[in-house]
A and B are shown apart, each in its own frame.
Chain A
Amino acid sequence: MGCLAAGGLSGPDKKTFIAKQQVQVICREQRQPGCFCSLFYCCTMKQHPAMLIEWRGSGEIRENNSRRGMVHVWWSNIVSYIPDWPVFVQAGATLLIPVVLYFTHRWFRSVVTNGGGSSEKLTAATEESDSLLTGDYDADLDSIKQAIGSNDDLHFREYRVAELGIRAALIYIDGMQEDQLIDTQVMQVLMGKGDFVPEVELESSLPPADRLAAYFRQRILPVVEMEEVQGTQCLHEMVLTGYTALLVEGMPSAILVGKPRGKTRSITEPTSEALLRGPRLGFTEALSENTSMLRRQGRTELMEIKKYTVGNTLKRDLAVVYMKSIVNPDLLQEVEKRVAKIDLDFIAESGYVEQLIEDDILSPFQQAQNTERPDRVINALMAGRVALLLDGTPFALIVPVTFSMLLQSPEDYYERWMAGSLLRLLRFFAAFMSLMIPSLYISFISFHPGLIPTELAITIIETRERVPFPSLIEILVLEVSIEILREAGVRLPKPIGSAMGIVGGLIIGEAAVQAGIVSPFLVIVVSVTAIASFSIPMYSAGITLRMLRFVGMFFAAALGILGTILFFLLICSHLTKLKSFGVPYITPVSPIRLHDWKDLFVRAPLTLMKLRPEMMKTERKRRKA
């Protein structure tokens, strides 16, 4: 067929066409798989043999066809157009496979989304048992001892309040109370060794039970942080998480006098998002420190922090942070609605929150951005996004997220705009490369060697002479080992890690080429891919691309460049469907918002960025006064 087609060409075309043929012949001689689909090459070609021969059909045949369309051959002509049974079988498969996939997908989605519904009864049951403190000192103390007294690290310190002549007890967990504060501000004051003098006479001045707590708070205890608790369940939780509780005779509530004294680590630069320029500040595990870090970013009355409790059995605080009068109220409402819906016994990390509030569980793309950097959070807040901070983790979540955010780094804004823009373009290019290069390699080597410059094609094929595998197997061998290498390297201590990098990357790569398992060109391809994927600023976005890269390789192995295009179209189709909190995932590109293009592939000079991102539909649009 090649010769047939080449016959119709002339001059330079013919030369290149024949060259292409030769390259393909070389390929086949080297036991390259012409293409995977030739396995299925069964019926369709037999049916259309004429198609190839009449490829460059002349006008005459067409005229003949139309003349033949007389009445007596009409019917047989139509019959001849009805395809053979294999085509109908294929048509059946065209229907059947997506139907099966669709229902599997629906079933799976319903399983995934309804999986959390069963624990509702449990929460209802635990809430019922929350009774109030009675005010009867002995009874209350007994009930507390009964409920949580079996903890050996729980201490009760009973004594008499000297001036008032009533009994009181301090309840605390060993090692979590603030000794000095309790000694000087509570014990000394109450036991009368301080300079405390009641303003009025004893006994008669003792206020009624309901005002006793207020009396203690306002008149007696010189402590700033103080909280009154009435529910027993709440009291138990607070005591066990480290608060020091004060129970006083005749008072139907307990006063929490001391905060838990826990060790927190110092503020360090985040290791997962290192920057050359920018604040060396990273979140820590304590929520109060994280929120205060955000507050310290600048003086404003706009920032609001709302706290929610998440986790049914082990409760934690989750702070929703936003800029009042910048954030779109509908977005905020949606975020709050989803946070309120969180229903799990324990939220271990903000990754849990991310997975429980995201739009599409079955998407390979992340729909919330995690970050350790307060500056990143504050910039997102100023753009009208919402941040979620969970107690106990340095990773804050930013929602909604768009695709371009995953390839942006705060440094883009700190450096001057030209450098920022170029680096950003570079990152987009790197992301594309890390996703597509292996698939392109497979499609060029296995299917279309004629499409790359002839010299290069011949060089590549020469280097592949000793490799016995088809390009898919070859590239899988190397890609999988690189992935293993990366996975192993993450957890190793630094000195060993670098040694392993040298052994894994350099020695094994070199040896694999010499052993004839992979070709040297492939080593270049895989290394460039790996390095390109390192340049993606978000670790989790990098994982997504790594995952999809393998999918793309299988597409390319099946259908060559067509498979690669198909893969690209599939990803695009998926991305156009995906939304994060109602914001289309690839929004500045499509739906097109030209204003936001200033901050997409390039980072325009700051003076030009007068408006907040259009996609966030913020309340206050202008950034300048």
Chain B
Amino acid sequence: MFTRSDDKITTSQAVVFLTDSILGAGILTMPRDITEKVKTPDAWLSVLLGGVVILLVVWVMTKLSQQFPGKTIFEYARSIVGKIPGSMMSLLMVIYFLVIAGFEIRILAEVNIFYLLEGTPVWAVIIPFIWTGAYLASGGINCIARLFQIIFPISIFILLLSFLLSMRLFEIDHLRPFLGDGLPPVLNGLKSSILIYTGFEIVMVLVGHMQHPEKAVKTMLLGAGIPIILYVFATMIVVGGMSISAVLRSTWPTLDLLRSFEITGLFFERFEFPFLVIWMMQMFCNFCSQFFVTSLGLSKTFGIKFPIVLFALMPILFLAALIPRTMNDLFTLGGAIGYMSVFLFVLVTVPLCLIYLIRKKGLRKHA
């Protein structure tokens, strides 16, 4: 077939899609969030352990989704637990994604106003991004995936480059002692380190849109693995470059690390600017994927046409983004989203898996 009319994404697109859905504003604040809880230089270990937990969850979700090829959670939840409970679960997912989308775009606006556009009203930053996101999302998952494929290599390149440049500040002593207080602080940080990976629930939508769902497990694990590795590196480099006490004092530790050294001989003296610019695109990608899944969920759950949902969601997203009044509210919301993610796992994924397994066994016995 020369022209593809089905809205399916290729395997590589699926990897990038999942990575972009996880990798967002987290990298800016994550080192501080984790270090606050761990209080030892072993924060990166928490991030790594949290990542392993996430990989397990992703594996479960992928396996579940693979039983229903071509279907997203919004459709198969109904066929597993019935129409009304299934719709309730879908609605929970939708609300969750909506909150993440609002959070993501608000963070984008805040970082922007703080570093680049002092004195600009929040709405002037948020509204154009919502419109652009809607324009992109109206093209369907394929267009979004294609945009991600353009942005992803650029943002990863810049991220790695900033890591590399930050290495000059890196002191291994900042990361010592390794496991000085034993494992308890690491496990303590595990709670909040799981939270930084929010957005991975998109797996349950992505698998249904894959061209080759049989490759889903490998694809999804890879897609979740990339952000985990990047997050571990980010934590190591930020903590190693700034020491714990400095990390705890700063709002955006990653950016503060980047602005604390100067590169001579380049057009930009400080690397925080190109990083911020590129990372804004990455955050936009993250926002778009949540936005798309929210609208997809709503349209599938209630049977409304996709463009109508897209339009209706724009003001709602805007309000959702403006509800937190202060930065502290915003960070509290960030934490809350993490807990929502856990709740969602307990309330949606686990019951769905169990009920599916029970039903399948029941069917086998009857047959």
Contacts and interface: CB of A to CB of B under 8 A. Distances in A.
Interface in A64-97: 65-66, 80-83, 87-88, 90-95, 97
Given A65-B332, A586-B146, A590-B147, A570 B1 contact: no
Given A95-B311, A98-B314, A448-B116, A569 B281 contact: yes
A454 B273 CA distance: 14
**Chain A interface residue bracket vs B:** 35 or more
B326 A591 contact: no
A231 B269 CA distance: 79
B128 interface: yes
Interface in A1-52: 1-2, 5, 8-9, 11-13, 16, 34-35, 37-38, 40-45, 47-48, 50-51
B308 to A, nearest CB: 10
Interface residues of B, number: 74
Contacts of B136: 569, 573, 576
What secondary structure prevails in chain A residues at the interface with B?
helix
Contact of A55 (B125, B307, B327): B327
B178 interface: no
B123 A90 contact: yes
A584 interface: yes
Contacts of A586: 146, 150
B264 to A, nearest CB: 9
B151 A572 contact: yes
A447 interface: yes
A331 B280 contact: no
Interface in B1-52: 1-4, 10, 12-13, 36
Contacts of B112: 562
A452 B328 contact: no
A48 B123 contact: no
Contacts of B262: 12, 16
B146 A590 contact: yes
A10 to B, nearest CB: 9
Contact of A452 (B36, B110, B125, B268): B268
Contact of A50 (B3, B147, B149, B326): B326
Given A12-B262, A573-B132, A590-B149, A57 B327 contact: yes
B143 interface: yes
Nearest to A46: B121
A93 B130 CA distance: 12
A592 interface: yes
What secondary structure prevails in chain B residues at the interface with A?
helix
Given A81-B323, A572-B147, A592-B12, A45 B121 contact: yes
B133 to A, nearest CB: 9
Given A91-B318, A99-B311, A572-B147, A42 B121 contact: yes
A330 interface: yes
A119 B120 CA distance: 53
A48 B325 contact: yes
B117 interface: yes
A493 interface: no
A57 B326 contact: yes
Most buried by A among B139, B267, B328: B328
B363 interface: no
A451 B273 contact: yes
B134 A98 contact: yes
A37 B124 contact: yes
Contacts of A91: 315-316, 318-319
A61 interface: yes
B150 A572 contact: yes
24 contacts: A9-B256, A11-B260, A41-B121, A42-B121, A50-B326, A55-B327, A59-B36, A62-B328, A92-B315, A93-B127, A102-B311, A331-B2, A452-B268, A565-B284, A570-B132, A573-B147, A576-B150, A584-B146, A586-B150, A589-B149, A590-B150, A591-B146, A592-B10, A592-B12
Per CB-CB distance, the 3 closest pairs between chain A and chain B, nearest first, are: A582-B3, A330-B2, A590-B149
Interface of B: 1-4, 10, 12-13, 36, 110, 112, 114, 116-125, 127-132, 134-136, 139, 143-147, 149-151, 249-251, 256, 259-262, 267-270, 273, 277, 280-281, 284, 307, 311-312, 314-316, 318-319, 322-329, 331-332
